[in-house]
Amino acid sequence: MAYNLLSGKKGIIFGALNEKSIAWQVAEKAFEEGAQFTLTNTPAAIRFGTINELAETCNAEVIPVDATRVDHLEKLIDRTMEIFDGQIDFVLHSIGMSFNVRKGLTYEDVNYDFFQKTLDISALSFHKLLKVAKQRDAIKEWGSVVALSYVAAQKTLYRYNDMADAKAILESIARSFGYIYGRDKKIRINTISQSPTKTTAGSGVKGIDGLIDFTERMSPLGNATAEECANYCITLFSDLTRKVTMQNLFHDGGFSSMGMSLAAMEQYNKSFDDDLIED
Ligand SMILES: NC(=O)c1ccc[n+]([C@@H]2O[C@H](COP(=O)([O-])OP(=O)(O)OC[C@H]3O[C@@H](n4cnc5c(N)ncnc54)[C@H](O)[C@@H]3O)[C@@H](O)[C@H]2O)c1
C-alpha cells in the first residue's frame, strides 16, 4: 500500500545489486511512493547484477560509480542534478564490502590493504559523498540522507571482522557531518542499523544462517526484513521525520536492547540436554 510520502521528491540510491539488495527494495518502495531517482553502483556490479531491470521498472537512469572515487561522485551528482534540473531531496548509501571477510581472514590476522579498502568502501565513501553533495549544494533544505549500518558497531559479533570498525566510523560520520549539514543547510543525516539479512553482502559473512536464527530468537518482534527496512527508509526520506538527525536508528525487532530471551535460552539449553544424552 502506497501513501504518496515521496510525491515529487528526487533522489539517488546507491547499492542495488540484485533483488535481494536492501537498496533494491528501497528503490521499489520509493518509486511506489512517487519519487524519481538515479540508481548507481560500480561498473562490475552493474555488469554482474541485475540493476538494469530495476532501472526499467522505476524509470531510472543507472550511473556507474565507484563510491571511493571523488571524481566519480562529482559526475554522479552533476548528472543527477542535470536530469532533475536542480537539487535533490534524498540519498541512500547502501554500500558495504570487506575483502578480509570475503577471503575468510580472521580479525587478528587481517590484511591491512584489505582493511583500508573496507574502511574506504564502507565508511569513507559516505564522507566523500556528503562532501561532494555539500560542495555542489546538491540537496534541498530539509533533505534527508540515510546510510545502512549494523549493530556490530556497538557490540562484538564473531566473524563480522573489520566491517565492525567500518560501521562504527560510518555512524560517527553521520553524527559529525550531520551537525555541519544540519547547521548550514537543514539537511538530516541518519544511519539505520538493520537486522542481519540474507543479501549478497550478508551472505558473505560466514555463519550468517546461525546468526539470523539467533537474532530471530532474541528479538521480541523477530528480524526485520529488507522490505521492512525499505519502509523505514521511506519514512526517513519523507517530510514526517524532519527533525530526526545524527541518529543511529535500530531497525532490528528489539535485538539491540536484549540480553537473553526465552526462545534463545530454550535453544541454548538444548545443547546441554544433548551433552547429557551423549554422556
Ligand atoms: N545484509 C545484512 O545482513 C545487513 C545488515 C545490516 C546492514 N547492512 C548494510 O546494508 C548495506 C547494503 O547491503 P546489502 O545487504 O543490501 O547487500 P548487497 O550486496 O546487495 O549491497 C552491497 C552493495 O555495495 C555495493 N558496493 C560495493 N563496493 C562499492 C563501491 N566501491 N562503490 C559503490 N558501491 C559499492 C555493491 O555493489 C552492492 O550493491 C550495506 O551497507 C550493508 O553493510 C546489511
pLDDT at 274 exceeding the cut of 80: no
Three cell numbers, residue 180: 555541519
The per-residue pLDDT for range 217-266, each reduced to its tens digit, is: 999 999 999 999 999 999 999 999 999 999 999 999 999 999 999 999 99
The per-residue pLDDT for range 65-112, each reduced to its tens digit, is: 999 999 999 999 999 999 999 999 999 999 999 999 999 999 999 999
> If 0-12 CB within 10 Å is exposed, 13-18 middle and 19+ buried, where does residue 270 land?
exposed
Integer angstrom CA distances of residue 263 from 44, 139, 217, 218, 270:
42, 45, 5, 7, 11
Atom in ligand 1 nearest the alpha carbon of residue 170: 41
> Ligand 1: which of 42, 62, 95 to mutate, judged by most atoms within 8 Å of the beta carbon?
95
pLDDT at 279 exceeding the cut of 80: no
Atom in ligand 1 nearest the alpha carbon of residue 45: 37
For the segment 20-33, the average pLDDT, to the nearest whole number, is: 98
User: How far is 250 from 267, CA to CA, in rounded Å?
Assistant: 25
Q: How far is the CA of 199 from the centre of ligand 1 (A)?
A: 8
Residues at CB less than 6 angstroms from ligand 1? 14-15, 17, 21-23, 41-42, 45, 66-68, 94-97, 121, 148-150, 194, 196-197, 199-202
Atom in ligand 1 nearest the alpha carbon of residue 202: 1
Atom in ligand 1 nearest the alpha carbon of residue 192: 7
Three cell numbers, residue 139: 540537496
Average pLDDT over the chain reads 96
Return the domain boundaries, the chain: 10-278
For the segment 206-217, the average pLDDT, to the nearest whole number, is: 93
Closest Cα to atom 38 of ligand 1? 15
The per-residue pLDDT for range 143-187, each reduced to its tens digit, is: 999 999 999 999 999 999 999 999 999 999 999 999 999 999 999
Q: How far is the CA of 208 from the centre of ligand 1 (A)?
A: 15
The per-residue pLDDT for range 55-67, each reduced to its tens digit, is: 999 999 999 999 9
Q: How far is the CA of 114 from the centre of ligand 1 (A)?
A: 16
Closest Cα to atom 11 of ligand 1? 94
Closest Cα to atom 34 of ligand 1? 41
For the segment 116-132, the average pLDDT, to the nearest whole number, is: 99
CATH class held by domain 10-278: alpha beta
3-state helix, strand, coil in the chain (%, to 5): 50, 15, 35
Q: What are φ and ψ of residue 251, in 5° steps?
A: -125, 75
> Ligand 1: which of 148, 215, 252 to mutate, judged by most atoms within 8 Å of the beta carbon?
148
